[in-house]
Amino acid sequence: MPRQLRAEQTRATILTAAADLFDRHGYESTSLSDIVEHAKVTKGALYFHFAAKEDLAHAILEIQSEASRRVAGDIDGHGYPSLEALMRITFGFARLSVEGPIARAGLRLATGSVPVRPPLRHPFTEWRELVSRRLRGAVRESDLHPDVDIDAVTHSLVSFFVGTRVVGRSLEPVTRLPRRMAEMWHLLIRGLVPVPRRPRYLTLVSRLERETAAAAV
């Protein structure tokens, strides 16, 4: 195996192991020795790629940010209405959390004491802008009531998504996340979407929940 490919695989192994431990035990409670043992690598291999635990955390946040932007970009490329695009993006984020530890660890790190280094932006800032932009589009497309408070809904939606994972981490398996996303959207649709347009979006919620849950199996 070429040396560069082997080094890339070792780096990915270390990141996945660190993400798994950060997600399950928290950043502060995880040591570099724990990560070495969990990744089944030497300390030399870890220090070759990462000088400190904070570097590992930052790399995980970077990967999470890239994955989130990729999900949003892929969905935007289909030309969906703004509200449908937003719904698909939130379920896409849920799917990332269900499928692997990187997104789950990134979310936990974002709610903790790990500083986000420039030029990387805080995930919640990126998510708020993503949500706000699509909510404004949904108002223009008449999929939301025209008097909706965009800032309030944006804050509530991001808080709902983050809070669901934070609370659920201790109380239920991550595979429950698609159901929680569906519950969130049922509440939002009934409160924000004009009555004639609700059936379409309620049907979409059910389909996205099934698709996301199936990916977790």
pLDDT attached to residue 100: 87
Which pLDDT tens digit goes with each residue over 140-185? 999 999 999 999 999 999 999 999 888 888 888 888 999 999 999 9
Q: Would you tell me which CATH number, out of the four given (3.40.50.970, 1.20.1250.20, 1.10.357.10, 1.10.10.10), belongs to the domain 53-215?
A: 1.10.357.10
**How many residues appear in the chain?**
217
Please state, in angstroms and rounded to a whole number, the distance separating the CA atoms of residues 89 and 112: 24
- Residue 161: in which H helix or E strand, if any? helix 150-171
- Contacts of residue 72, defined as CB under 8 A and 6 or more positions apart, other chains included, come to 89, 92, 130
DSSP 8-class letter at 121:
P
What is the predicted pLDDT for the residue at 101? Answer: 92
Q: What is the pLDDT of residue 217?
A: 60
The rounded distance, in Å, linking the Cα atoms of 78 and 191 is 27
DSSP 175: G
Classify residue 77 as left (phi > 0), alpha (psi -120 to 50) or beta.
alpha
Domain boundaries, the chain: 53-215
